[in-house]
Structure 1
Amino acid sequence: MSADAGTPDRVAPAVLQPLVAAKTSRPRTIRAGVARRRLHELLDAAAGRPVTLVCAGAGWGKTTGVSGWAQERDRPVAWLSVDRHDNDPQVFWAYLLAALRVAGAVPAGNPLADLTSVPADPRERGRLFAAGLARLSADTVLVVDDIQEIDDADVLHELADLLRHPPPPLRLLLVGRTEPPLRLHRLRAAGQLAEIRAEHLAFGHDEAAEIVGRHGLALSAEEMSALVARTEGWATGLQLAATFLAGHGGTRTITDFAGDVRGVDDYLTEEVLADRTRRQRRFLLQTSICENVCAGLADAITQRTDGQRILEELEHDNDFVVRLGAKPLWFRYHQLLRDVLGHRLRVETPGVLPDLHRRAARWHAANNSVLEALAHAVSARDWAFVGRLVTAQAAPLMVSAHRPALVKILRRVPAERLTSTPELLICAALLLFHAGDYDAIPARLFAARELLHGRPDAVREPVEIMARTLQLAADRAAGDMPALLAGANRLLDLVAQARTVPVPAVAQNRAIALGARGVALLWSGRTGEAERELWAGANAARAAGVELPEVNATGHLALLKVMSGAVHEAAALAGGAVDLAEQRGWRYALQTVPAYFALALVRLERHDLDGARQALQDGLRGHHSDPEVSQRLVSLGVQARLAIARGNVGAARRALDEARQDRHPRLRVRALERWLARTEAAVEFAAGADPGDAEPLLAARAAYLKGDVRQAQRLLGEVTVAERDTVGRVEAGILAALLADARGQSVRAADLLADAVTRAAEEGIRRPFLIPADPRLDGLLQRMRLLAPLVADFVGELRPARAEQPAESLSERETEVLRYLATMLTAAEIAADLGVSVNTVKAHMRAVYRKLGASRRTEAVTLAQNSGLL
């Protein structure tokens, strides 16, 4: 450039003139073709503030991103690339002015326009540049790239003075790997600083796909997600990954791409690790064994006390060390950097790895980070410590959201080690529990106790508590409720007296014991006590942070409520348990099964047959993965009741037959047996047979259907319904109304039915109104709809539901009787023709009328013809 043309050469010393063009030219984007609209929009918005800082580590695409943005701007952008040789005030300001002139930002008449040399005196230089910069062309953007290279105190001081009162026409854009010491906090507090960091520069899926596509690769959406996650959107990492994946004929996978790949290792070693001090490098290597690190953990691993200072230094200097949260407490290393560090650690000092992991394990155990402690202990191959930690702290996690992680860790223990200590035998029993092999658990527990003889309390207490807890699982799986109750009581005594077990583990085991005691009391028929214990178990589990026992206790509470006729309460409890389970990803866990079965029974009472079937299937899926005898019997009872609702008596009987045959030798579930007996009575009633004595209310209904109003009234008077048994009260109210109407007491019948309908409407109960099909009930409901507008909508829902009730299948003999009904033969003549008694024929006729929903012979024939039965 000629010195008389007003070019930058006129202000730069002669020795610097050859570099001016290179230092003041905007770099050409080497990643052309990648649309970075999101980044450009951020830079557009940032340009409205006096100062913008673009700060990220090596290879994040700072320079290329800003350069691409500058290329698209309507107005010129001055560009200055600095290096360590610019740490001289005269040199720095000379290049800065040269950059402004190259961009055409210094108009004629500006004090800087005819400047031929930068003043040596700092005060004169400051006055001159302050005046000149204030008169630049409007909206002038000056990019100073690699600002981290400037460390001269004088240059930094003069820049800081400039930024104290930024000239209005100038928009300064600083690009660097680290934040420069320019008192930017003042600008930040005043809202005059825009910041673009690594998270803003990171490439998104679409941008990363463009890089990959230019290498001829076509990755699926899942593969792109994995690649972006592994590189964390790091621009250079994506370039290296694309090159790596395209090599070897495209046979490599994303899982093969890691920090120990040569290109990544070389780049991060040279660009990130090379500038670290010896102490920082050693710190990075040793702490790379952790996914996340804090000062205390770092100090424990390195056996020093400067962890906080070094972590903050690294985070300040390098975006490959990321602060987790607003406060400088926890940090993590970029995945690929951690890979590089791990590789270097294994190559340079492999012998220290077990000790490093052992120190990390002890620190995490002391700070209640149990899973992290176990992971490090396994990496250290410290099997004895693994066993002690599991038994004392980690075992209750088997019934929490952390179960998969705990199982994964336990499976890393060599099989031959699982019999070497009492604690490791507990680990073996936990794996059996996870596999559902409950019958094999007691042998492991016996072996563990054998090894405890003569051991101190600190060893014996945790093992004994976990042995009791695991024994509960075996007793519960077998359905042995007396043993379960006794075991839960013993476990509660143990945890109450424990002196050497950590408080969290005591709370967790206590919650498990309370829930088990509630289940044992429920199926033993002690309902009141069961309700109290299940509530206590659910609350204790929530407080202890073991949510699967909470889900299970709440599900059993829901079963207790729905089996006791409290539908609304059951629905709320079951729905809450299912929601919590699904939020945690436990939709098909064994502990969720009771809630699904309770939900199925609720939906049956509300005549939501499809919903009941879905809840039943969800429960069965969870049960099949981890069977429990009592829940198996509940499922068969639910299947029978659903079959009744669909008019399939045969399927209901088959389910109950299976329940009778499916018996564990230790099964002791008295209350569940009674519930199944009531279910069987309902099946027999639906089949038109004698329901027996298991369900007095059904016997009263059966007498009413036979036309024996007096017997029905007597039996109904003997029925006792609990106050909270809404279903029972509704059923009794319906029958009482029908009997009153049969005796000509229409007003009383209406009052009784109104009370039943009101109770039912409050909880959405519909099933009792749908069986049996009875024209008298239809008439009463019609009158109710007209006389009780408050329940008219609910009654209106019942009428079509009653009309849509599936016809029960007729038995072979009932089908024969039906064919005779279409003739003119009398009951006596039909009996003679069939060779049976008249009473038998009349019983079959009543069953046919009921199943078809008819009240007389001609109506039955018409309905049979319409349905294709005749």
Structure 2
Amino acid sequence: MRLVARDRLSSVAGRLDRLRLVCVTAPAGSGKSTLMTQWHGMLAEGEAAWLSLERADREPANFAAALAAALKGRVPSLGAALQAILSSPEPVLLRRTVDHVLVELAMHDRRFVLMLDDAHHLIGSGAEEALARLIAQAPPSLTVVVGSRDRLSLPISRLLLSGSALEIGWDELRFTAGEAGILLNEAAGDGLGADIVDVVTRRTEGWATGLQLAAMTLRQRPDGADLRSLSGRSVDVANYLLEDVFSALAPSDRDFLMNTSVLDRFSAGLAEAVSGRDDARAIIERLEHGNLFLLRLDDRREWFRYHHLFQEFLQSRLDVAHPGRRDDLYRRAAHWCEAADLLREAMTYARRGRHMEHLADLLERAGRQMFRHGDFKSLRDWLAVLPPGTLQNRRELCVLAGWAHAYLGEIAAARTCAAMAASSLAPEDRATRAELAVMRTTFGVIQADEPESHDLPSNVVDHLPSDKPALLGFGHVAVGYTLRAEGRLDDALAAFERGIAITERPETALVNLLARFNIGALLVFMGRPASAEERLRQSLEVARARGWDESIGAGFLNVQLGIALREQNRLRDSIAALGRGIELLEAGEGYGYLGVGLAERARSHRAAGNGNAAAQDRDAARRLADERGITRVRFRVDLLDARTALGGGRLDEALACLEQLRSGLVPPSDDGGVLNEKYEIFLVQWCRLLHGQLRMAEVVRVAGLGVGSALAAGRHRNAVAFLVLQAAAWKGLGVPGKVRDKLVRALELVRGEGCVRPFLAAGTTLLDDLAELAGDRALAASVVPVLAALGRHSEATDIPIPVLRYRETQIIGLLTHGLRNREIGERLRISEETVKWYLKQLYEKLEVRSRTEAVQKAREYNLLA
């Protein structure tokens, strides 16, 4: 059927180079796709890419893959990197893909138009947010055309005000009487009465699909008699005309259409498997040639789908003609997709067909993939679909459910699943027994920072399958947890290093980043925050290169980076890194660690004097700890309360907090050996309390126990804090030689590591003593100004210092060199528009109006350090 010329709409193609966004929004069958197809054909070769979306593209992996496939043929430089990104865990894909597309398009000189059809499928999903971000930060060379039944949450209002966006709706798409007459007369061979044209136009209300269907009927009945009695409702028009078109098809084609209507998308192979035909390719070509509501989804003509109205009609006909057949069709589709390794689609069809045993089989395969990538939210949600009792009969699913619940902070459910799996173990099943031991060890760490390793064999890794690197890597991490708890930090480091070496591959994202995170945590405890920062930043670069930087594993790394930066007293950078980690953990629902991130950011906010922000994070962490029973978060919040009270000189309040803390800790043994890690941390604050109460001799004694434990375990960070408190106590007792000895020893323990915060344990008491040492010890020189600042501002004071994101600190630093927006964008590999957006945020935070004022204010706040 020849397209009717509609110059008022087709002329928009000539204006696309002046627009950033075009939204074509109207009901189904309004001609959105046809109009966009016309525009696409009017553009120069290679100037546009087309992407037909479907409901499955709400999934991050599907949308990222579809976007990559649409773009990489038009922008060749996107190809290799996008392939690497697409092997990343699902939570990573959207942001990583969009970021890479933005960078590459910013360096792409030619005009480029991205056309997204059926975008309403993305509404309410992460893919919609990713699309909005792509449009908001796109370089001026990119135009995005969006066709949708419903309006998406896109930045169109701002772009409309600037004249760089256009909206085309139902009123613009409706056929006029003249346009409808051309369409209908062509179908009827001219001579169609004006009254029939008028009736059809009025009763279809200019609806493109209604007119197209009417035209098909006119080919069979040129007199148009049957069209006079049409109802005015579009749905009635569709039902009437679709029935008329459908009945004119050969019975074999009708059966093929009904059988394949249950598919969201189909290839010739999938269509043959579902329909039982062996000539699907020929049928698809015939249907496409006949313009029978078939939409192509890729440039290679492999995947197709039906127009949604046509699909709904076919499904209704299927249910009438063959009641109950759908379940069998879904079964066939699930098995074909499984064989093609399209596990997500296979699970979707198995679920629709209520083939729950098959779904459980599929989930055992796909679930391990989700486990390796750390996509525990999807894993938990799919497990929830299974009928009650399924897990009890499937040990593998019990194990997977245990891992998912644990990392989502649902510890009680995780323990139940582990117990169910253990109850059906055979004596010879050493691998599963070892995995459960590793899992239970991890439960203790997630819940209380104390590994439950009573049943973890010392040679656990020998019992784990060598062909499952993710699981083997988890075994080494569990061993590392145990060694850390025993105070054998060097041995723990070696175990985590082995965990990294085993999992250096795309499909083992979670455990690889988990091992890297643990190394950063250990280095901080060892009094080596600068080394920890270097290692964590290297790990984040690895995560970025492999497309893992949107996963909860990257969230762990960012939180630990924030802690390492705080130890060096780089509080604004610390808050920014912690914020990034919290964002990733929230997105992945990593509640097992999110509370830790909130509590640690509260501590950094308090240290920076941001009292209100600290209180908000503290309260959020407390709620999460109470709701999910995560005691390690509760411990951090209680400790923060004690620190806050001590910093404010409220000793009675601090005593109450510390007594409550001690009640939940395992008391030390009488052998004088290494203390429990948490008890050692508690003891630092207890010594601070004793110092505030002027009980100096007790400080010397108790801190001495702490020093011995910390040094034996290699926890030099705590050893420094105890030595500083001892030095302050000896000063109170009037023994200056002891003061210097303790400080010199503390400085030697952490030489060259920028370990500032432990030296603040005694407040400003030792300011003069450290100043005397500053001449020949660099760390003392860096600690002195911090202590001097504490003398001017209590840590409990709410000093309104702006908190900048990491990207904002980069931009403010480049402003000092006088770089223009374009040059800053090139340095940071972001668009000039994105630079402008960040500058706007910076101006608001710093309360300035120009670049010069921004640089000046940043220097005042020491944001350029």
Structure 1's 533 and 645: CA in aligned 2 closer, same or farther, altered over 3 A? farther
Q: What corresponds to 1:61 in structure 2?
A: 31
Residue 652 of structure 1, CA deviation: 4.0
Structure 1's 418 and 646: CA in aligned 2 closer, same or farther, altered over 3 A? same
Q: What amino acid sits opposite 1:582 in the alignment?
A: E
Q: What corresponds to 1:143 in structure 2?
A: none
Q: Within the alignment, does 1:379 sit opposite 2:352 as a pair?
A: yes
Q: 1: CA distance between counterparts of 2:245 and 2:477?
A: 54
Q: What corresponds to 2:660 in structure 1?
A: 658
Q: What amino acid sits opposite 2:320 in the alignment?
A: V
Q: What corresponds to 1:269 in structure 2?
A: 242
Q: What corresponds to 1:169 in structure 2?
A: none
Q: What amino acid sits opposite 1:41 in the alignment?
A: V
Q: What corresponds to 1:579 in structure 2?
A: 580
Q: 2: CA distance between counterparts of 1:546 and 1:281?
A: 47
Residue 805 of structure 1, CA deviation: 1.7
User: Which runs of structure 2 are paired with 1:355-394 in the superposition (5 Å)?
Assistant: 355-394=328-367
Residue 712 of structure 1, CA deviation: 1.7
Q: Within the alignment, does 1:411 sit opposite 2:380 as a pair?
A: no
Of 701, 712, 724, the match for 1:697: 724
Q: What amino acid sits opposite 1:802 in the alignment?
A: G
Residue 719 of structure 1, CA deviation: 4.3
Residue 380 of structure 1, CA deviation: 3.7
Of 448, 471, 490, the match for 1:528: 490
Q: Within the alignment, does 1:678 sit opposite 2:681 as a pair?
A: no
Q: 1: CA distance between counterparts of 2:762 and 2:506?
A: 48
Q: What corresponds to 1:42 in structure 2?
A: 13
Q: What corresponds to 1:188 in structure 2?
A: none
Q: What corresponds to 1:354 in structure 2?
A: 327
User: Which runs of structure 2 are paired with 1:552-571 in the superposition (5 Å)?
Assistant: 553=515, 556-568=518-530, 569-570=532-533
User: Which runs of structure 2 are paired with 1:39-438 in the superposition (5 Å)?
Assistant: 40-42=11-13, 59-61=29-31, 207-208=168-169, 263=236, 266=239, 269-270=242-243, 278=251, 280-304=253-277, 306-307=279-280, 310-311=283-284, 314=287, 318=291, 320-395=293-368, 397=370, 402-423=375-396, 425-426=398-399, 433=406, 438=411
Q: 5+ residue gaps in structure 2?
A: 18-23, 40-142, 153-166, 175-205, 213-232, 538-556, 563-576, 707-721, 798-865
Q: 2: CA distance between counterparts of 1:564 and 1:327?
A: 57
SS at match of 2:266: strand
Whether the aligned pair in 2 keeps the contact of 1:422 and 1:451 (CA below 8 Å) is yes
SS at match of 1:411: helix
Q: Structure 2 length normalisation: TM-score?
A: 0.51
Percentage identity across paired residues of the two chains: 21
Structure 1's 741 and 373: CA in aligned 2 closer, same or farther, altered over 3 A? same
Residue 379 of structure 1, CA deviation: 3.2
- Root-mean-square deviation (CA, aligned residues, Å) is 5.7
Structure 1's 295 and 425: CA in aligned 2 closer, same or farther, altered over 3 A? same
Residue 394 of structure 1, CA deviation: 0.6
Q: 5+ residue gaps in structure 1?
A: 1-22, 30-35, 47-53, 70-195, 214-233, 241-259, 499-505, 771-777, 779-797, 809-870
Q: 2: CA distance between counterparts of 1:474 and 1:595?
A: 18
Whether the aligned pair in 2 keeps the contact of 1:358 and 1:377 (CA below 8 Å) is yes
Q: 2: CA distance between counterparts of 1:310 and 1:518?
A: 60
Whether the aligned pair in 1 keeps the contact of 2:360 and 2:386 (CA below 8 Å) is no
Q: What corresponds to 2:793 in structure 1?
A: 804
Q: 1: CA distance between counterparts of 2:404 and 2:423?
A: 20
Q: Deviations along 1:53-88, whole A, 9 cap, x unmatched?
A: x9x99944389989xx9xxxxxxxxxxxxxxxxxxx
Residue 722 of structure 1, CA deviation: 3.3
User: Which runs of structure 2 are paired with 1:576-725 in the superposition (5 Å)?
Assistant: 579=580, 582-583=583-584, 585-586=587-588, 589-600=591-602, 616=618, 619-620=621-622, 623-624=625-626, 626-662=628-664, 670-690=676-696, 691=699, 692-693=702-703, 694=706, 695-716=722-743, 719=746, 721-723=748-750
User: Which runs of structure 2 are paired with 1:395-544 in the superposition (5 Å)?
Assistant: 395=368, 397=370, 402-423=375-396, 425-426=398-399, 433=406, 438-439=411-412, 444-451=417-424, 453=426, 467-468=436-437, 470-477=439-446, 479=448, 481=450, 483-484=452-453, 487=456, 492-497=461-466, 506-534=468-496, 537=499, 543-544=505-506
Q: What corresponds to 1:185 in structure 2?
A: none
Q: Deviations along 1:174-233, whole A, 9 cap, x unmatched?
A: xxxxxxxxxxxxxxxxxxxxxx999769786765476999xxxxxxxxxxxxxxxxxxxx
Whether the aligned pair in 2 keeps the contact of 1:554 and 1:595 (CA below 8 Å) is no
Q: 1: CA distance between counterparts of 2:736 and 2:694?
A: 17
Q: 1: CA distance between counterparts of 2:521 and 2:606?
A: 13
Q: 2: CA distance between counterparts of 1:616 and 1:197?
A: 42
Whether the aligned pair in 1 keeps the contact of 2:330 and 2:349 (CA below 8 Å) is yes
Q: 1: CA distance between counterparts of 2:757 and 2:210?
A: 68
SS at match of 1:525: coil
Q: What amino acid sits opposite 1:708 in the alignment?
A: V
Structure 1's 25 and 566: CA in aligned 2 closer, same or farther, altered over 3 A? closer
Q: What amino acid sits opposite 1:496 in the alignment?
A: P
Q: 2: CA distance between counterparts of 1:539 and 1:395?
A: 20
Whether the aligned pair in 2 keeps the contact of 1:58 and 1:271 (CA below 8 Å) is no
Q: What amino acid sits opposite 1:381 in the alignment?
A: R
Structure 1's 427 and 606: CA in aligned 2 closer, same or farther, altered over 3 A? closer
Residue 700 of structure 1, CA deviation: 0.6
Q: Structure 1 length normalisation: TM-score?
A: 0.51
SS at match of 1:415: coil
Structure 1's 485 and 730: CA in aligned 2 closer, same or farther, altered over 3 A? same
Q: 2: CA distance between counterparts of 1:351 and 1:666?
A: 68
Q: What amino acid sits opposite 1:805 in the alignment?
A: S
Structure showing greater radius of gyration is 1
Structure 1's 397 and 616: CA in aligned 2 closer, same or farther, altered over 3 A? farther
Whether the aligned pair in 1 keeps the contact of 2:638 and 2:661 (CA below 8 Å) is yes
Residue 302 of structure 1, CA deviation: 3.8
Structure 1's 513 and 612: CA in aligned 2 closer, same or farther, altered over 3 A? farther
Q: What amino acid sits opposite 2:381 in the alignment?
A: K
Residue 618 of structure 1, CA deviation: 5.6
Whether the aligned pair in 2 keeps the contact of 1:289 and 1:357 (CA below 8 Å) is yes
SS at match of 1:751: coil
Q: 2: CA distance between counterparts of 1:442 and 1:730?
A: 38
SS at match of 1:327: coil
Q: Deviations along 1:302-358, whole A, 9 cap, x unmatched?
A: 455555555566556559544444433444444444444443333333443333333
Residue 802 of structure 1, CA deviation: 3.0
Identify which of structures 1 and 2 has the higher relative contact order when contacts are C-alpha pairs closer than 8 Å and 6+ apart: 2
Q: Within the alignment, does 1:757 sit opposite 2:728 as a pair?
A: no
Q: What amino acid sits opposite 1:527 in the alignment?
A: L
Residue 709 of structure 1, CA deviation: 1.4
Whether the aligned pair in 1 keeps the contact of 2:272 and 2:280 (CA below 8 Å) is yes
Whether the aligned pair in 2 keeps the contact of 1:551 and 1:580 (CA below 8 Å) is no
SS at match of 1:291: coil
